[in-house]
Amino acid sequence: MNQILVIAWREVTRLRKRFGGGASPLAVVGLLALIGLSAYFLRDSVSLGAGLYRVGVSGDVPLIEDSRFAVLSLTSEEGKVFLEDKTIDVFIDGSQVISRPDDRSQYAVRALKQYMEAAELTRVGNSYDGESAFPLRVGINYLDASQPTGGPDAAAPAEVIIPSLTPPPAPFTQVLITLIYIMPITFISIFFTSSFMDEKMNRRLIVLLSAPVTPFQIIMGKMLPYALFALSTTALIAYFTKTNVLLALAIFAPTTLFIFAIYLMVPLFYRTFKDTTFIAMLVTTLTTAYLIFPAMFTNVNDLSYISPLTLAVKMYREEPFGWREYLFPSFPMTAIFLLTMFAGTRLLNEEFLMGYKPLTRKISDAIYLMLARSKTYLSVPLWSLLVIPAVYMFQILFLTFATNLPVRLILGFTLIASAAMEEVIKSISIVVLARHDKAGSWRDLIGLSFLSALGFLVGEKLLVLISIRMVSEAPVAGALFGVGLLLFIPLIAHFVFTSIVVLTHTKLKFPYPLAVAAGTIVHFFYNVYVLRGGF
């Protein structure tokens, strides 16, 4: 523990020195202030469709203050001519709105409708008393599906709304609030990455490695200041947005660990600066997608619980959630953190850090280093079991990606992509071991394939067990994680697919991607068969 603190303190000093020299802190503060100020001025004016529509107005028309519309004052005749030659999209002549039948004009009319509705409500609300301006009250009552009540009861409605002032529930704004938490965490973890890279570059890391500290202590020490900083920003944001600070910390701590874990991998794998930039960008995009996309569907689909942001949205709405809901997103994230910490301790050595090889070689070396120190019959199934949370996250990303495809292709794409992913995960450990001559005979390969399939299946079923209630409601997810209740048939199936991949690659000398493709195709047809109710 002491060592960790020493390294952590050293890290703080390093950072202070780096950003302490010259006028740069001043410049940074200045720039940050400038951005804050502009964001403050821009908070209302930036919206979807900024500057898209040109509107001509003539006569008594309410002031149009919306970044989507560029307004031109015209006479009645000019307006009609301009509308005809498509210089403007829509023309408002007093209380009359004139448009063309083409799409662009009709889109403008819809956008105008939204704006005018709000503007008119404000006008009516200001010039008449509340009861005349908003004469309708809607009482919302909830019916319990299981117990029919005797008849109309006199109980007060659960809530009373004014339709024009109460937008239907949509989590969009709250999702944006919760996004504020993610941004500082990502930003801070980029500094964590930079620090690692810097030390790798000037070889201080190598010196540190020869000192009597373990790689684990180095990583923890370097991560500690940044993680604490990230958690304190979380606490601050929670405090300023007037929500439960402890709950916010509990929700975002696994997320913070997860983001840090991924950013720990960046400096370990990079070879050139450009690598870092691109890998970091990729990682940011994927994690943001993973976090935001499901949260958009809060209260619409229970699968949304895979993102911790969903919990945060619920927290802001003061809706309760239970342990299951909490563990559903948090467990895989924490598991991935632990796995990468383990990987980090194994990879933090001079040879791996300094080697310049193709990225695929680096990855295979990394896997080898993680497996090499223990017996293969233990490490292979453990690998397959422990990587499950990562597989699961990737499958969610595939699903996100697939929503972009035509509807009938979504299921097919997701099934193929996840089958390929699973085949890679199960076979890669064996293939890597075979490359380093740790396994070679038919007996070894087939035995390891079986163990790998077993490990994978156990992990998969454990995950399903944890998440059964949520996931079971979504048929696609059910297909991804296997719906077969019999454990025996899936085990044999996984074993067969893995053996196909391993043997075609190591014995028949097929290139690895081709071998994976072969396994994937068989796996895909098996999945389709299961989905159709085969077992």
Partner 1 sequence: MIFPVLAVVKKELTSVVRDGTIVISILIQLFIASFSSGLLLGMLSLYDADTIVQFGGNIKIGVVDSAENRLASLMRERGLQVMEYATLAEANAAYFHGEVLAVVDTPQDVNGLTQVDLYLPASETTSSLIRMVIQEPLKGYENYLRTEKGIELRYADLKGKPATSFEFVYSVLIPMLMFFPAFVAGSMSVDSITEEVENKTLQTLLSAPLTLNSMIAGKIIASVILAFLQCVAWLTLLQLNGIVIQNTGWILLLALMIAGITSTSSALSAVLLKDRERSQFIYSLILLASAAISTLLNISPITTMSRFAIGDAYTSGLNIVIFAAFLAGLCLLLSKLSRRLLV
Interactions with partner 1, residue window 125-184 (CB under 8 A) = 128, 131-145, 148-149, 151-152, 157, 160, 162-164, 167-170, 172
235 DSSP 8-state letter: H
Q: Which is nearer to partner 1, 325 or 522 (CB)?
A: 325
Query: What pairing do the DSSP bridges indicate for beta strands 159-161 and 96-99?
Result: unpaired
What distance in Å separates the CA atoms of residue 55 and residue 323, rounded to the nearest whole number? 53
* Cβ at position 457, least distance to partner 1 in Å: 30
Instruction: Pick from 1, 51, 320, 532 the residue near partner 1 by CB under 8 A.
Output: 51
3-state SS, 260-326, equals: HHHHHHHHHHCCCHHHHHHHHHHHHHHHHHHHHHHHCCCCCCHHHHHCHHHHHHHHHCCCCCCHHHH
* Cβ at position 526, least distance to partner 1 in Å: 27
- If one asks whether residue 535 binds partner 1 (CB under 8 A), the answer comes out as no
Q: Which is nearer to partner 1, 129 or 351 (CB)?
A: 129
* Cβ at position 192, least distance to partner 1 in Å: 11
What distance in Å separates the CA atoms of residue 301 and residue 119, rounded to the nearest whole number? 34
- Residues 200-259, interacting with partner 1 (CB under 8 A): 201-202
Q: Which is nearer to partner 1, 253 or 311 (CB)?
A: 311
Count of residues that interact with partner 1, criterion CB under 8 A: 109
- Convert residues 394-423 into a mask of x (bound to partner 1 by CB under 8 A) and - (unbound): ------xx-xx-------------------
- Residues 11-50, interacting with partner 1 (CB under 8 A): 18-19, 24, 27-28, 31-32, 34-35, 38-39, 41-42, 45-46, 48-50
* Cβ at position 279, least distance to partner 1 in Å: 7
Q: Which is nearer to partner 1, 104 or 438 (CB)?
A: 104
- If one asks whether residue 378 binds partner 1 (CB under 8 A), the answer comes out as no
What distance in Å separates the CA atoms of residue 50 and residue 87, rounded to the nearest whole number? 17
* Cβ at position 52, least distance to partner 1 in Å: 6
292, with CB counted inside 10 A (0-12, 13-18, 19+), is middle
Residues 333, 258 contacting (CB under 8 angstroms): yes
What distance in Å separates the CA atoms of residue 156 and residue 166, rounded to the nearest whole number? 19
73 forms beta bridges with 57
- If one asks whether residue 299 binds partner 1 (CB under 8 A), the answer comes out as yes
- If one asks whether residue 276 binds partner 1 (CB under 8 A), the answer comes out as yes
Q: Which is nearer to partner 1, 137 or 324 (CB)?
A: 137
* Cβ at position 264, least distance to partner 1 in Å: 16
- Residues 305-364, interacting with partner 1 (CB under 8 A): 358-359
- If one asks whether residue 104 binds partner 1 (CB under 8 A), the answer comes out as yes
**Residue 432, token pair as written in the block:** 């890597």
Residues 247, 315 contacting (CB under 8 angstroms): yes
- Convert residues 56-95 into a mask of x (bound to partner 1 by CB under 8 A) and - (unbound): ------x-----x-x--------------xxx-------x
Q: Which is nearer to partner 1, 2 or 404 (CB)?
A: 404
Q: Which residues contact 127 (CB under 8 A, 6 or more apart)?
A: 133
57 forms beta bridges with 73, 92
Q: Which is nearer to partner 1, 53 or 260 (CB)?
A: 53
Q: Which is nearer to partner 1, 161 or 531 (CB)?
A: 161
Residues 387, 339 contacting (CB under 8 angstroms): yes
Instruction: Pick from 52, 206, 249, 531 the residue near partner 1 by CB under 8 A.
Output: 52
Of 339, 14, 55, 316, nearest to 173 (Cα)?
A: 316
Our measurement of the distance from residue 469's CA atom to the centroid of its chain's CA atoms, rounded to an integer in Å, reads 22
Residues 343, 370 contacting (CB under 8 angstroms): yes
* Cβ at position 470, least distance to partner 1 in Å: 13
Instruction: Pick from 205, 223, 231, 279 the residue near partner 1 by CB under 8 A.
Output: 279
Cα dist from 344 to 11, 183, 185, 486, whole Å: 18, 24, 20, 37
244, with CB counted inside 10 A (0-12, 13-18, 19+), is middle
Q: Which is nearer to partner 1, 385 or 476 (CB)?
A: 476
Q: Which is nearer to partner 1, 114 or 349 (CB)?
A: 114
* Cβ at position 188, least distance to partner 1 in Å: 12
**Residue 209, token pair as written in the block:** 């490695």
Q: Which is nearer to partner 1, 6 or 300 (CB)?
A: 300
